[in-house]
């Protein structure tokens, strides 16, 4: 159906372009009645057209003198009819009219003119030009000629702006559709070719990889000459980017799946095949995804020589690049401190914090990371991450530093520091907690009250009682009462006994219920 | 020659395992999915089955179920990631698999375990 429509459309377009001859159907053949009458006079007999004389009462008149040339009072040519009319007028002084008969039916002058015009237009009769008395007949002759525009072919086409515009749109549509089809075909062909190559390269790679991993030792692999190595992985193939890509992917996949000496073998092979250069090259790419791929390769293959290049991406504006760069530096560097992380200007997302935390948690036992550096960062999210690190990896030795810092930090940071104090459960840093209990920030007060329940002192209990007397909102009141109960049961009981607030009594009952106290 | 069926969708791993086992003199049958695994269990005379858990069409547990019904005498080693659901691993053990080797793994260690199982 679409093909049919397209063919019709193309045919129409062709007709629009090619039709340069148009008949002038609406052009009058005769300029006026006089020229028509002259034409009839000069033309003689016209097929289907006859004349006869009638008087005003439409009674047919027969001239006895001309009776021989008449058949039932009808004549075939207009000149004869005119002569007959003159003859009758001269002989009998009888005024007559000429009646026009088209196929024996009487018709008006105008209808006859139209009939003759049609005959001329259709070429059914040839006009007879008589002498030089045909000044007006030239119009008739001209009208008979087929219409031919002044501008022909291409010029005529371009002179009609609407047709040109429509044609241009149609042409552009076809070009676009054709390009899309061509693009899809090329894309599909390339993809198919790539899939075939992938299978082929996989087959080519598996055998030599297996042979090297199981037949050679690490020392043997490292001492292989280039020629020997090319026996496994041909130099010609190693020049093909897709082959190198497949090889890198397969070695990385194996490195993840295998353990023991095989990992070392794979890393040695990676370097022997100069695949590390391909990874380093990726780090210089302008495409962020290529850079991330390069960073992953550097990370997985322990390419420590790439640390300098990786550091260039630590403060990258791209989230994924800088996340992977930091993770790579943390994993690779033996002597890494966290100064590079301290100097990051972009805020750390929760995902990044989790990712870095996982690596640092794994590394901190074997490396000196200098977490305290993070406390001095200009980036608040980094400082907060530092406080969390102290908590998660249990650096009790840094609590003193945190206490010192707490005087000059934001309330959000105070919350994190107090959580760290509470988590590590060292009852020696109550100054910050007691100070925070007096804050206007309800979130900070709530966290401080909760911490006070675990590591607070007598001053904390006193402040909590003062806060309770100020009738805080329900949730805070509940936290305060719970903390007071945990901190000092005697003070808590005294407060409950003295309190006349029914809400306090209800919370107290809730807290003393063994089933509900943690709800 | 002892015949071992390897059901693993990762061509690289299966080829490496096959290479390592052939080196020890075993005959191997390599299939990439669960359906082919079932057919191989039904048609081949096997001495050992090594299967992954996450494989196309039928998972490792279904393979183990089938093997236990049709060839209860053939020992099975499950070769799979620890990241996969603990429930599945436990189920595999409950079905009576002989051994479980978590990925990442050492192919030499796998070869030793295969040798031990086939000897016993």
| Chain B positions in Cβ-Cβ contact with residue A206 (cut-off 8 Å) | 11-12, 15-16
Pairing status of strand B27-31 against strand B3-7: parallel
Q: Exposed, middle or buried by CB within 10 Å (0-12, 13-18, 19+), for B62?
A: middle
Tell me the average confidence (pLDDT) per consecutive run of 10 residues in chain A, 519 residues long. Answer: 61 52 59 85 88 71 50 78 82 77 89 89 76 56 68 70 88 97 96 93 88 86 86 88 91 88 89 90 92 93 88 90 90 75 87 87 77 87 90 84 82 87 76 83 86 82 83 80 82 79 77 69
- Residues in B touching A260 (Cβ below 8 Å): 106, 108-109
> How far off is chain A from B96, nearest CA to CA, in Å?
25
Beta bridge partners of B77: B50, B99
Contacts of B107 in chain A (CB under 8 A): 213-214, 258, 262
The answer to whether the Cβ–Cβ distance between B20 and A210 falls below 8 Å is yes
Q: How far is C-alpha A435 from the geometric centre of its chain's CA atoms? A: 54
Q: Which of A308, A327, A319 lies closest to A345, judged by CA?
A: A319
Task: Select from A97, A117, A104, A94 the least CA-distant residue to A31.
Answer: A117
Q: What is the dihedral of CA A469, A472, A478, A479, to 10 degrees?
A: -100
Structure tokens at B68: 């236990």
Domain ranges in chain A? 33-144
Q: How far is CA A258 from CA A12, A300, A346, in A?
A: 69, 12, 36
Contacts of A252 (CB under 8 A, 6+ apart): A296, A297, A300, A301
Residues A123, A124, A130: CA angle, nearest 5 degrees? 80
**pLDDT of the residue at A335:** 65
Residue A519 CA, chain-centre distance (Å), reads 49
CB contact set of B120 (below 8 Å; sequence gap of 6+): none
User: Please, what's the b/e burial string for A484-516 (b: 16 or more CB within 10 A of its CB; e: otherwise)?
Assistant: bbebbeebbeebbeebeeeebeebbeebeeeee
Contact A214 B19 (CB under 8 A): yes
CA A86 distance to own-chain centroid: 91
Residue B20 has its nearest CB partner, among A206, A214, A250, at A214
Chain B residues in contact with A256 by the CB 8 A cut-off are 104
Chain B residues at the A interface, defined by Cβ less than 8 Å, are 10-13, 15-16, 19-20, 23, 103-109
**3 state DSSP class of A45:** strand
> Would you state the pLDDT for residue A70?
47
| Contact (Cβ atoms closer than 8 angstroms) between residue A377 and residue A342 | yes
Indicate the pTM of the whole model: 0.62
Identify whether the C-beta of residue A117 lies closer than 8 Å to the C-beta of residue A27. Answer: no
How far from A9 is each of A156, A166, A340, B85, CA to CA, in Å? 20, 12, 67, 62
Residues 6 or more apart in contact with residue A382 via CB below 8 angstroms: A341, A342, A344, A348, A374
DSSP E strands: which ranges in A393-454? Answer: none
- DSSP β-bridge partners for residue A50: A101
Which backbone phi and psi does A230 adopt, to 5 degrees? -70, -20
User: Rounded CA gap, A396 and A375, in Å?
Assistant: 15
CATH number at residue B71: 3.40.50.2300
Cβ atoms A129, A141 nearer than 8 A: yes
* Best CA proximity match to A118, nearest among A134, A104, A100, A102: A102
Is B23–A214 a contact, with Cβ atoms under 8 angstroms apart?
A: yes
> A396 exposed, middle or buried (CB, 10 Å; 0-12, 13-18, 19+)?
exposed
Domain total of chain B = 1
Q: What tokens appear for A486 in the block?
A: 């945990």
How far is residue A416's CA from residue A423's CA, in Å, rounded to a whole number? 10
Range of the domain at B92: 3-119
Strand boundaries in A74-207, DSSP class E: 74-75, 97-102, 105-107
């Amino acid at each position: 159906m679409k093909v049919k429509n397209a063919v019709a459309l193309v045919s129409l377009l062709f007709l629009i372009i090619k039709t340069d001859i148009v008949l002038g159907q609406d052009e009058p053949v005769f300029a006026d009645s006089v020229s028509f009458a002259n034409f009839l006079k000069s033309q003689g007999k016209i097929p289907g057209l006859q004349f006869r004389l009638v008087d005003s009462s439409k009674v047919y008149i027969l001239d006895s003198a001309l009776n021989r040339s008449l058949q039932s009072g009808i004549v075939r040519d207009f000149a004869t009819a005119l002569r007959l009319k003159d003859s009758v007028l001269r002989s009998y002084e009888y005024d007559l009219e000429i009646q026009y008969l088209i196929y024996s039916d009487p018709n008006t002058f105008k209808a006859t003119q139209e009939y003759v015009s049609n005959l001329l237009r259709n070429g059914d009769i040839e006009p007879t030009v008589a002498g030089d008395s045909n000044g007006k007949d030239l119009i008739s002759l001209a009208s008979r000629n087929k219409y031919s525009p002044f501008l022909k072919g291409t010029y005529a086409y371009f002179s009609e702006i609407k047709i040109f515009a429509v044609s241009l749109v149609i042409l552009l549509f076809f070009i676009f559709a054709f390009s899309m089809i061509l693009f899809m075909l090329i894309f599909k062909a390339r993809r198919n070719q790539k899939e075939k190559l992938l299978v082929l390269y996989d087959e080519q790679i598996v055998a030599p990889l297996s042979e090297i991993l199981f037949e050679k030792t690490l020392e043997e692999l490292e001492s292989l000459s280039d020629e020997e190595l090319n026996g496994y992985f041909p130099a010609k193939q190693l020049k093909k980017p897709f082959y190198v890509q497949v090889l890198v992917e397969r070695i990385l996949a194996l490195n993840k799946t295998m353990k023991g000496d095989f990992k070392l073998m794979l890393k040695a092979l990676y370097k022997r095949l100069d695949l590390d250069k391909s990874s380093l090259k990726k780090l210089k790419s302008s495409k962020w995804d290529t850079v991330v791929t390069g960073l992953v390769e550097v990370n997985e293959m322990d390419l420590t020589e790439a640390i300098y290049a990786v550091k260039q991406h630590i403060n990258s504006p791209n989230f994924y690049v800088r996340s992977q760069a930091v993770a790579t530096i943390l994993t690779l560097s033996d002597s890494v401190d966290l100064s590079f992380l301290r100097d990051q200007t972009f805020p750390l997302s929760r995902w990044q914090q989790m990712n870095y935390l996982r690596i640092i948690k794994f590394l901190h036992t074997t490396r000196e990371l200098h977490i305290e550096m993070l406390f001095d960062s200009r980036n608040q999210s980094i400082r907060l991450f530092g406080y969390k690190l102290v908590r998660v990896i249990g650096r009790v030795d840094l609590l003193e530093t945190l206490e010192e810092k707490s005087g000059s930090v934001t309330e959000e940071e105070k919350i994190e520091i107090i959580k760290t104090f509470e988590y590590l459960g060292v009852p020696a840093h109550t100054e910050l907690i007691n100070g925070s209990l007096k804050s206007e920030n309800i979130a900070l007060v709530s966290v401080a009250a909760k911490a006070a329940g675990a590591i607070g002192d007598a001053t904390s209990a006193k402040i909590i009682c003062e806060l309770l007397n100020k009738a805080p909102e329900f949730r805070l009141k509940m936290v305060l009462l719970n903390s007071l109960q945990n901190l000092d049961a005697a003070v808590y009981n005294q407060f409950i006994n003295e309190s006349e607030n029914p809400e306090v009594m209800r919370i107290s009952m809730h807290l003393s219920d063994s089933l509900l106290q943690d709800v | 020659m002892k015949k071992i069926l390897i059901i693993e969708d990762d061509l690289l791993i299966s080829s490496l395992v096959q290479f390592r086992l052939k080196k020890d003199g075993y005959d191997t049958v390599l299939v990439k999915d669960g359906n082919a695994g079932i057919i191989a269990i039904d048609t081949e005379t096997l001495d050992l089955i090594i299967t992954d858990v996450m494989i196309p069409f039928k998972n490792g547990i279904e393979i183990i179920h089938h093997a236990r019904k049709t060839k209860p005498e053939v020992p099975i080693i499950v070769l799979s990631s620890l990241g996969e659901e603990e429930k599945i691993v436990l189920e595999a053990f409950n079905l009576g698999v002989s051994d479980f080797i978590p990925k990442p793994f050492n192919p030499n260690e796998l070869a030793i375990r295969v040798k031990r199982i086939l000897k016993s």
